[in-house]
Structure 1
Amino acid sequence: MDEADRLLAKFAGGIAAPAQGIFKESVRLQALSMKLPKGGLYRYYNTFVSFKQELRALKENVLSAIQVLLSTAVSVESPGRDPVDVRGLDERRRSESIIDATDSLLESVNRRIRVIYCSNIARPQDVWRDDVDNSNRPFIPKQVRATLDYDTSFPPLGRARPTQAVADDGEYAHMYEHALKNLTYDEVMFRVRPRRKRCLSIDEVPLVWVRTVAELAELASQLNTVDEFGVDLEMHEYRSFQGFTCTIQISTWRSDYIVDTLLLRKSVGDYLGPVFANPRIVKVFHAASNDVQWLQRDFSIYVVNMFDTQVACLVLKKPYTGLDQLLRNYCGVVTDKRFQMADWRIRPLPKEMLDYARNDTRYLLYVYELLLGEALALEGGREKALAILNQSRDICLLKYKKEIFSEKSYLKLYSKYKITLEPRQLSAFASLYKWRDRMAREYDESLRYVLPNHMVFLIAKYLPKDPCQFKAICSYLPPLLKINLNETPTSQCTTAARRSRDPKTTPQPTATPQTPSSPVPPSQDPREAPPAVARSAATRPPRSKMAPPCATAKKKEFVRKKKRL
């Protein structure tokens, strides 16, 4: 446990350290925690006094680390406020506190990153806005070309007719489902190839930056002459509702290509679609489940005959499945993951980001040959190789599905955080969730950009009724919330709060005009009554339960209640 104590101390004291170091220490700490005894073995070890003492010390270190996290979050988001004492909370409240603190810190980091990287970047989707469908209807792909140029000696793929694009249930039918399910592989793929001495590095092959239609046509022509090529995608999703592909990286044995899909979005499918659907050419991906769906969504590109190196690792029962570990073990290459979450809308891309993108595909073909050779060398090698290809084919059969909103969609987020809300708070939560979805679709922004998850819970929990109270509970106001502050979230929260103050009063279904025999009492506030029925003094809530009349006093009381919670 000395190793665990040391890592915990380093983690607790390194909140302000670079994110990469914290991530590595977190992974190592998680691996160590998995080695702790469980079940009957734990009960046996717990009979020893020395084990109890070590475990007690470890628990204290964990609580100290959590306390440091909460203190840091409070100092960043609410300077001057005392942090919650984690030792006085039960296990559920501790988990909620960790989630809230982590969300606040990550949101703070996101704000600072956006100031550096995103402040001067124009939204590329504004150029091809007519190409984006954010409606609350199932996704329908753009029609691909009916005639494909490929070697007729292979089984025909079949033509996708417009009438076959949508199935009976409203979802589109996979245009190459029949071709994929009847796909056969050339015998050449099941022959053991001579092992290459090494793979050429990114410094030894040329890079072609594809930014024009002519260059895209030349790339398609070159790819039609090879037997296999490696593929990877980089996408952006923070400033878009569905996200969009920023670059496509393609590597052959002799060249690297990076396609600027922000410039060529409307042309990529026409030129590269037939190449990716050609069953004669093997497309090598790593962890392709997302990539094949993004290609469908943005370019109507469907992949036929794919080899997924992650699937190969699983079939061969490798102790690792990550691309960085494959490159380290097979190619002796250490990749830099600093740009994994970078903003790929940046133009021009700096050299470091270009090198990162190229490394993801440069060595894929070499790894593909080695993994396929390992599979064929095993007993029943042909079946192993066929299992890899068939499971990769199943990934190609995946269909992109757009997020569809329903009146119960909010329950997914609500159940995920395990935070209990009262009925009126839950009603406000559902309204906020619906408003956020509508704004995201209308402005083509991500849900996180419109209103982060933790803010949805905060607003639903405290039910602010004016801009001052919104600012009191939120460390900052997202741009779309600030612009639309007087719309759905505020009005829904105000309505919920007013109804909670007077549960006995409900609006009548029809209007009843006032008669001289039933005047409105002078002490009654007509704004608090339903539009058709006057409220008597007996049904009016007591003064102590009503909101303070002064806006400043309301804000002070609201902040005071929040601190007590």
Structure 2
Amino acid sequence: MDSFKELQESISNALVSTTRTATRIGAADIPFQRTLNPEVATALDEQNARLLQLAQRLLANAASSSEATAPKLPDVDAIDGNWRGIIDVVDSLLERADTALDEYTGVVKRLAQTGAQPNEPAKKIRMTHLPNTWPKPQLSFEHVPQNNETGGFRPLLTSKPHAKVPFAECFKTFKDDNGREQYPHPYQTEIESYQYPPWMYEKSDPQPYPPFESTTAALVDTPEALAEMLAELKKAKEIAIDLEHHDNRSYIGLVSLMQISTRDRDWIVDTLKPWRRQLQCLNEVFADPNIIKVLHGAYMDIVWLQRDLGLYIVGLFDTFHAARSLGYTGASLAFLLSKFANFQAQKQFQMADWRIRRPLSADLFNYARADTHFLLYIFDNMRNELIDRSDFSNPQLDKVSEVLEKSRETSLKRYEHPVYDTETGLGNGGWYRLITRTPVRYTPQQFAVFRAVHKWRDDVARAEDESPLFVMPNHVVFSIARVLPADKAALFAVTQHMSHILRARADELVAVINRTKDLPNPPDLDETLNKISAMLYQAREERKGAVAKPVLEEAPAVSTLNLTPMFPTPVGPPPRAEESKFWGSLLSGGASTQRSQDVVDITLGIPLPPLTAEVFAETVGSTAAEETPKPEPKFIPKEERPGEDKRTDIFIVKQLGGKRKRGAVDSPATPSRDADLAGNADEVMLEEDPEESRRAAKALKKQQKKEKKRLEALRQAGEEDVEEQEEAKEEEEAPFDYASAPSVMRAHDAERNRNKNEGGKKKKEEKKKSAAYNPYAKLADVPKGLARTQKEKAGRSKTFRS
């Protein structure tokens, strides 16, 4: 322990001294110091190389005992390029430390002995996944998945229970918007015409679920167990269903587990059995309109059931749509379990590899069972809440019907084979969505390599039945397109985390890169994106613009006008701009992608004539006064100019009247001012209308009377007050003497000399008159904030006072 303490102290002291030395020069001053002194630049380069070497050795040692790969750091720029690899190494260290702490404290041992309780909070458990050498379960299926099918997905049905449309009608193809042949949804008519039972709109007490701890689920992994479960499900009024899906080691993915629950029992169905297609017998329950099927977030479950098992659901209630309609703060299944059942789901198993060897461990078994064990109880509570918050007389406020309609639309989803389009990159697995969501700027050569590498990855994933992300992550595709490696060594330097498939096919990928780099006239990134964006925009306009055409043909007034559009119809909004409208060309090197936006179609209620140049031209004869030429000014000598009026036009607004400020006091010398007012009034009356003159004279006399009364009241109140107020008024009205004012620049020196001459004593009046200039005096004239909150003291309360 003492040796460890000494080592810890020595490391801490070394780090403190190193940090202090490094912070003596600011980071912004380092380039300046480099240019000022070449010796400093050389020393910095040597230290950088030494630190990079030490960091490389540390990363290599840390990654030697983990699955992470230490990145190579040949220079400073390599740190930014390999930052993701550095983070992976650090994460592996933290994960190992976390595992060691769990082993030391006994958490792992306790879980291994007793097992994690299902209602306890989630604990850190190390997951086990199938190794790369483990045989894939899909290779043992009776119908091995085919990843290169290009036509429409043919339903897997061999029979159609509860059918309204004959079974043979389900295999008549149609053409979609892209001209490809597709098979219809086998139960489309049954789902669209389905009427939910009346009890869905009636409240009922939620039926409690069986205790989780004292019950268990039955494992269905044989045809006999399947038949027994089917017989029990046919007696139910509603059932809960959930799936566990795996897509990391499969191109299209595969359903690995299915959970089904009734009010009394739970089942775990192993869907990795070679006879998995025999599960189509469950359509006798799944397509039964008399049984409600409750699922959570069934958007993908509906598609997976069709693709792998040939199952279709009629009468779906999706609790995800119910949570959204009720405005819950969360819409996940874990949130609903915590809200209604007070059950904390162990969501660390959500990304588990459900292909692992059967039988499942107790932790995985309980996690899978919990997804449906409480779901029917949650369904009861949410249905009652939807009924309480619905107004069945107003379709806009009928939340029950809203949730059922959205559930119906979800159950109508149809699976289609993934088609890869090399030219446009459209589709779920295409390159168009990936590159439009990533701010990259590629040259034509780099863009061509990006498309070629992306296509090569998809072909390899289909051939090996692997996920494209398992073959090569997305960031590696971008790195290869940016660097353009010419050989295997350069390729391995770019791809730090390399799968065994990529390592085995490295020569093939290098050949694809070199062959694509030599292609003449490679496509430009911006031009290609603009073409695809225009094509998508035109397709959207054709779908939504078919209704507006008959409206223009029916209007007779519009047909007689020669309409010209105010703005040219755009072919399509550009997906990205050459430069930012706000930043200009500052970020042109890494300009981010601008997503295509629909252009708003502005339709005017009254058609406008063509806005040509003639519309804005001046009409002849409309402005005759402006067209008359103005006479040029003529110079008149001073001797010939007429004499000026000697009477002055200067007057004082304050003397002519107006409201006075409250509290203001006039000077006692009112008679002379009244005389001036009278004189001015006479001069004004000579030049004005007689009627107006009489009104002005009357108002002036009235004002003079008020002034006399006010002054008489002031004299009675006290002569001294009047004199003081008059003196104060004279001081206020006295003009400012700039010559005798103290200097602003030398204000403090003048104050100091004045204090020295007077012996440090100043009278109150002189201090008021000759105060030094303070440029910060106005800073105090600001609104004051709230007072600081007072803390309560022992025995007293600030809220109630006696």
* TM-score between both structures, scaled by the size of structure 2: 0.48
Please tell me the root mean square deviation across aligned C-alpha atoms, in Å. Answer: 3.4
Is contact 1:429–1:456 with CA below 8 Å preserved after alignment?
yes
User: What is aligned with 2:439?
Assistant: 418
Counterpart selection for 1:188 from 199, 207, 226: 199
* Secondary structure of the corresponding residue to residue 304 of structure 2: helix
Cα separation, 2, equivalents of 1:106 and 1:454: 19
Residue 492 (structure 1) aligned with residue 512 (structure 2): yes
Give the whole-Å Cα distance in 1 for the aligned partners of 2:330 and 2:456.
42
- Partner residue in 2 for 1:6: none
CA distance in 2, matches of 1:336, 1:391: 29
Q: Secondary structure at the match of 2:437?
A: helix
Give CA-to-partner distance per residue, 1:483-512, whole Å, 9 cap, x none.
22222x211222345569xxxxxxxxxxxx
**1: CA distance between counterparts of 2:201 and 2:485?**
66
Return the TM-score normalized by structure 1. Answer: 0.67
Structure 2 equivalent of residue 81 of structure 1: 73
CA contact (8 A) 2:461 2:468 kept: yes
Match of 1:208 among 218, 231, 235: 218
Give the counterpart of 1:481 among 502, 509, 517: 502
Give the direction of change, closer, same or farther, for the CA distance of 1:264–1:115 in structure 2 (3 Å limit).
closer
3-state secondary structure, aligned to 2:211? coil
- Aligned: 1:239 with 2:246: no
Q: 2:147 — aligned with what?
A: 134
**What's the counterpart of residue 168 of structure 2?**
161
Matched, 1:122 2:135: yes
Q: Is the 8 A contact 1:296 1:302 kept in 2?
A: yes
**Shift of residue 416, structure 1, vs aligned partner:** 2.2
Q: Which residue of 1 aligns with 2:416?
A: 401
For residue 297 of structure 1, what is the amino acid of its counterpart? Answer: R
Q: Number of paired residues?
A: 415
Pick which of 113-122 and 389-398 moved more: 113-122
1:402 deviates by: 2.7
Cα separation, 1, equivalents of 2:505 and 2:244: 32
Of residues 342, 357, 377, the one that matches 1:366 is 377
Return the offset for 1:291.
0.5
Cα distance in 1, alignment partners of residues 77 and 484 from structure 2: 25
1:354-381: per-residue Cα shift (whole Å, max 9, x none)? 1111111110000001111111223425
Q: CA deviation at 1:103?
A: 8.7
User: Hey, what's the Cα distance between the residues in 2 that align with 1:237 and 1:105?
Assistant: 27
Q: Residues of 2 paired with 1:347 and 1:188: CA distance? A: 43
Aligned residue identity for 1:133: Q
Please tell me whether residue 218 in structure 1 is matched to residue 228 in structure 2: yes
- For residues 163 and 400 of structure 1, the distance between their equivalents in structure 2, rounded to whole angstroms, comes to 14
Letter in 1 for 2:269: V
Indicate if the aligned counterparts of 2:259 and 2:268 stay in contact, CA closer than 8 A. yes
**Partner SS for 1:424:** helix
Instruction: Tell me which moved more, 478-487 or 427-436.
Output: 478-487
Distance 2:314 2:489 in 1: 56
**Cα deviation 1:419-475 (Å, max 9, x = unaligned):** 222211111111111111111111211101122111111222222222222222221
**Which structure has more RCO (C-alpha within 8 Å, separation ≥ 6)?**
1
Residue 364 of structure 2, aligned match among 343, 353, 356: 353
Please tell me whether the aligned partners of residues 157 and 310 of structure 2 are also in contact (alpha carbons under 8 angstroms). Answer: yes
Q: Structure 2: how far apart are the matches of 1:328 and 1:376? A: 22
The residue type equivalent to 1:362 in the other structure is H
- 1:469 matched to which residue of 2? 490
Counterpart of 1:317 in structure 2 is 327
Write the letter of the residue equivalent to 2:136. R
Residue in 2 aligned with 1:14?
none
Deviation at 1:275, TM superposition (A): 1.4
Structure 1 residues 354 and 461, CA, compared in 2 at 3 Å: closer, same or farther?
A: same
Distance 2:215 2:284 in 1: 26
Q: Distance in 2 between matches of 1:256 and 1:322?
A: 21
| Pair 1:359–1:454, CA change in 2 (3 A) | same
Does the 8 Å CA contact 2:292/2:315 hold for their aligned counterparts?
A: yes
Amino acid at match of 2:411: C
- CA displacement, residues 262-299 of structure 1 (integer Å, 9 cap, x when unaligned): 01553344211221111111110011101011001101
Task: Classify 1:117/1:124 alpha carbon distance in 2 versus 1 (closer, same or farther; 3 Å).
Answer: closer
1:310 CA drift (Å)? 0.9
Aligned to 1:175: 186
Aligned twin of 1:540? none
Cα pair distance change 1:431/1:470, threshold 3 Å: same
Cα distance, 1:384 vs. partner?
A: 2.2
Tell me if structure 1 keeps the 8 A contact 2:283–2:312: yes
Matches of 1:361 and 1:109, distance apart in 2:
35
For residues 75-114 of structure 1, what are the alpha-carbon distances to aligned partners after superposition, in whole Å with 9 as ceiling and x for unaligned? 865456289689xx9xxxx9x998887799899999xx99
Is contact 2:156-2:309 (8 Å) kept? no
Task: Measure, in 1, the Cα distance between the counterparts of 2:174 and 2:519.
Answer: 45
Unaligned runs of 5+ in 2: 1-54, 96-125, 426-430, 521-802
Deviation at 1:186, TM superposition (A): 1.7
Q: Tell me if the contact between 2:254 and 2:308 (Cα under 8 Å) persists in the aligned partners.
A: yes
Q: Is the 8 Å Cα contact of residues 70 and 86 (structure 2) preserved in structure 1?
A: no
Q: 1:84 to 1:310 in 2, by over 3 A?
A: farther
Q: d(CA) in 2 for partners of 1:465 and 1:82?
A: 19
* 1:141–1:297 Cα contact (<8 Å) kept: no
Q: Any conservation in 1 of the 2:170–2:186 contact (CA below 8 Å)?
A: no
| Matched letter for residue 148 of structure 2 | S
Q: Confirm whether residue 301 of structure 1 aligns to residue 311 of structure 2.
A: yes
- For residues 277-333 of structure 1, the C-alpha deviation after alignment (integer angstroms, 9 at most, x for no partner) is 111111100111010110011011111001111111112222221111111111111
In 1, distance between residues paired with 2:142 and 2:502?
22
Shift in Å, 1:162: 5.9
User: By how many angstroms is 1:138 displaced?
Assistant: 4.1
Percent identical pairs in the alignment equals 28
Matching residue of 1:285: 295
Deviations 1:21-53 (A, max 9, x none): xxxxxxxxxxxxxxxxxxxxxxxxxxxxxxxxx
Q: CA deviation at 1:391?
A: 1.1
Equivalent position of 1:390 in the other structure: 405
Deviation at 1:390, TM superposition (A): 1.4
For 1:405-427, what per-residue CA distance to the aligned partner results, in whole angstroms no more than 9, with x for missing partners? 01122232222222222211111
* CA separation of 1:79 and 1:446: change in aligned 2, threshold 3 A: closer
CA contact (8 A) 1:202 1:355 kept: no
Q: 1:418 to 1:212 in 2, by over 3 A?
A: same
- Confirm or deny: 8 A CA contact 1:427 1:496 kept in the other structure: yes
Q: Deviations over 1:102-138 (max 9, x none)?
A: 799899999xx99854346320111127441211514
Question: Using a 3 Å threshold, how does the CA distance of structure 1 residues 215 and 115 change in structure 2: closer, same or farther?
Answer: closer
Residue type of the alignment partner of 2:368: A
Which SS does the other structure have where 1:332 is aligned?
A: coil
SS at structure 2 position matched to 1:369: helix
1:210 and 1:258 in contact (8 A); partners too:
yes
| DSSP-derived class of the 1:257 partner | strand
Matched with 2:286 is 276
State the AA in 1 paired with 2:515.
T
Q: Which has the larger radius of gyration?
A: 2
Q: 1:478 to 1:200 in 2, by over 3 A?
A: same
Residue type matched to 1:311 in 2?
H
The one-letter amino acid paired with 1:491 is: A
